[in-house]
Amino acid sequence: MSSSAISSAKEVFELLREDLAAIEREFGRDTVSGVRAITDIGEHLRAGGGKRIRPALLLLAAKLFPHDERSAIRLGAVVEIIHTATLVHDDIIDEAKTRRGRPAANTQWGNSKCVLAGDWLYMQAFKVAVEERNFRVLDVLIELTQQMVEGELLQMEKLGKCISLDEHFDLIYRKTACLFSVSMKMGALLGKASEEQEALLAEYGRNLGLAFQIVDDVLDLTASEEVLGKPVASDLREGKVTMAVIHTLERCTPAERKLVEKVLEERAFVTVQHEQILELLTRYGSIQYAHDAAAQHAEIARRALGPFPDSEIKSALLFVPEFVVERSS
């Protein structure tokens, strides 16, 4: 495979296949506890699958440099465990019934057990990370966890409110893009990258994460329940205003604004139907606006890789933003 040949997600994941399989095994070992409920919840979440894009990013960043492959596997599992812990807590906060087309963990084990299992997963991730004996890694993970918790609390404060675009960007950075950025940064730390290289890879991860979340939010509004694995327009049902909706709210008439506000107030499509909101978003070009914004951040991510020499790994990293923007699920 030449450095310019990577043009599909399948090729990217084939490049990382053995390492991702090793991370999956590590993840399975690391989520076993002496308490049966924790092990069962961990296995339920692991079996739910997912794109494993965060550990893949860590691996790709590390592979730009000579690095300890065992450390990359361990820390790849760490970022996936942290991501999994956030999903457990998110589902409880959002009162979600499904996750990736399967029952959410809280529907089977209850909120109390799932809160504690999520806490255990966070602590387990840090326990594994401590084995690296790398204070920079711990500093990055501590800051990450604080950012994500603050993001969740900020979002709770803004539920049902028509927030600004700046507030929205702050939220999606904390809730999603921060972990993408940290995944790249930890790969750079393992490869003993220069400060400039580390900053560029963190910037790549940040913009990739923003693009990922913007696309996720658009799909929540436009995709089918079968594709999403959860009810459509879950964000609006939960009182969350995302980019396309903000774009429309800044342009629509007072009467049209009241339609959106009614959905946020009722936390359901009762008085106002999902199709009415979708028609409104389409009329103001808001879906396209959000897609364009995601594409812009994807391009910024690609540009951050400019100073790195051409290689198969760089080619994979250049493709990932395209995969993120063009995905349909």
pLDDT tens readout for residues 31-57: 999 999 999 998 898 887 777 999 999
Instruction: Please report the DSSP string for 223-234 in residue order.
Output: S-HHHHTS-TTH
Which residue ranges of the chain lie beneath pLDDT 50? 1-3
pLDDT for 249:
96
pLDDT for 5:
57
What dihedral angle (degrees, nearest 10) is formed by the CA atoms of 131, 135, 136, 139?
A: 100
Is the pTM above the cut of 0.85? yes
217: closest CA among 255, 179, 177, 180? 177
**Top-level CATH class of 9-326?**
mainly alpha
* Domain boundaries, given as residue ranges, for the chain: 9-326
Dihedral sign from CA coordinates of 320, 323, 326, 329: negative
pLDDT for 180:
98
Tokens of 70: 């065992």
